[in-house]
Structure 1
Amino acid sequence: MAQSTAIRGCVPTVILAVFLLIQPSISIYCEEDDCYDLLGVSQTANSSEIKKAYYKLSLKHHPDKNPDPESKKLFVKVANAYEILKDEATREQYDYAIAHPEEVFYNTARYYHAYYGHKTDTRAVLVGLLLVLSGFQYLNQWTRYNQALDMVKKTPAYKNKLKALELERTGGMTNKKKSNKQINKKVEEDLSKELELQIKGAERPSVWELIGIRFILLPYTLVKLLLWYGCWFWRYQVKQAPYSREDASYLTRRSLGVPSDSWRYIDESSKEDLIERRLWDKSNMESYREEMRKESKRRR
């Protein structure tokens, strides 16, 4: 009996708790009022009727038309209700909250996502991100390039080239006063511009290598790649034509696992020797590796 009485006593408490949870999921829209009632329209009203009702009430309760403080408060509520009901998405959310008040957390989450969620255009975010990354990439490349350039200019080989270039420009005549001194900075800058310094791993930055540019050119790159593979298959798989010098160079570089930037720094005679070995053939590659292993042991 006592247990039954205790249970009956808890029922109103549980109902009250559920009611307090359900109410916030609806009241977050128009507080304690009903958005439709505030505008004086039914839940089935169309957008034109909602708009017409709002303009009628806004003219009546606008602070410029009606100085009454209560009318001002009502105007704010009416404006808020119109903002909710004029948009199809938020109106659908509000109707769902009315029909399913028990889904408290879901309704609340949808409301805050709609009003406080990230509303920036995804395309704008992507473009901004690409611009920022490209900017950092370009600055980093220039920093690396300038640091590498400074290191090269301190080497004896570079200084010798600079002196040889100065002698060439002056016809072999040198200024005795400056013979034991460093070359004038302005002259050095002018001469260094004539020397094409190619520094491995720190090439001069190019806008075509930036992430943003590559992303913009991605469709073109993909089409070009597909055409290249198509031509390759037709020429060397179907027609069985001999490899051109350029394609043989590509196959050699790929077989050795050498990046294109590093391949440029290999002298032409070494390139020709590697290409003639036809290293894209598995047997030739194994023979070449064995030769390299023996050469490495001999040097030790």
Structure 2
Amino acid sequence: MAIERVAVIGAGTMGAGIAQVCAQAGWRTNLYDAFPDGLERGMERIAAFWEKGIARGKTTPEQRDEWSANLMAVGDLAAAVKEADMVIEAVPEIPELKQRIFSDLDELAPPHAILGTNTSSLSIADIAAATSRPSQVIGMHFFNPVPIMKLLELVRHEHTSETTIAEAQEAGQAMGKTCILVRDIPGFATSRLGVVLGNEAIRMLADGVASAKDIDTAMVLGYKHPMGPLALTDLVGLDVRRDILLNLQRSFNDDAYAPHPLLERLVAEGRLGKKTGKGIYDWSSGQAEETNFE
């Protein structure tokens, strides 16, 4: 199946990024969000990224105009998905929310459409069970920032068809991604490692092993990580990291995945990372600055 039309459900940071790379791949792309303000912010985020690319000489005005013509904000779910060859859901990591959306997509999307979920740790099988087409449901785990990060983690559950896998791989390549294929195991291949590293870095910070910047610098220079685990936690969102850890803790019945108390405290205080201006670091200046936790 040749993909021509795509719908992205959820216009937050991840959804907007996914819609952007879909439009850049040449597909007619509908971006949907249940909240008009969220949809507007998502479209503004995409436009700002393209304008920044022009300012840096990485994008031409002609490319921007071509990509913009491929992208449409749609405030009605049925209208957004009615002609889609592929639907990618990118709403918060709440199992009941994703299942409800997939039940709606099953009724509203064309029978041939692939249904992808951008989850970082939830069961694909459980999400697929909300549909009458589980063979066409696949995990499509993108990474933030989506237009820059080259990895796409495809997650197959026991009923995902080989055709769906092949079409998702082709779609990933068209978006400029390198695809890996993993089984439907909690945390998959990436989150299971990534959140544990971030949680341990928070433990080290709380124990006074080193400052946040020195812990991050150790991993960047010592292990060639492009970003330290604490800065990455701020970028992903402390609430997102906490929720993934809780899911792993429940799934494996293993307290090794329990969120560190400092992580729980920062989330409770609303210090969720870069998106709120403060998390492990203070981002109010636009750059990561050391802060205290008193």
Per the shorter chain, which TM-score range? under 0.3
Greater fraction of residues in strand:
2
> Which TM-score applies when normalising by structure 2?
0.23
> Quick check: which one's helix share is greater?
1
TM-score (norm 1): 0.23
Structure number with greater Rg is: 1
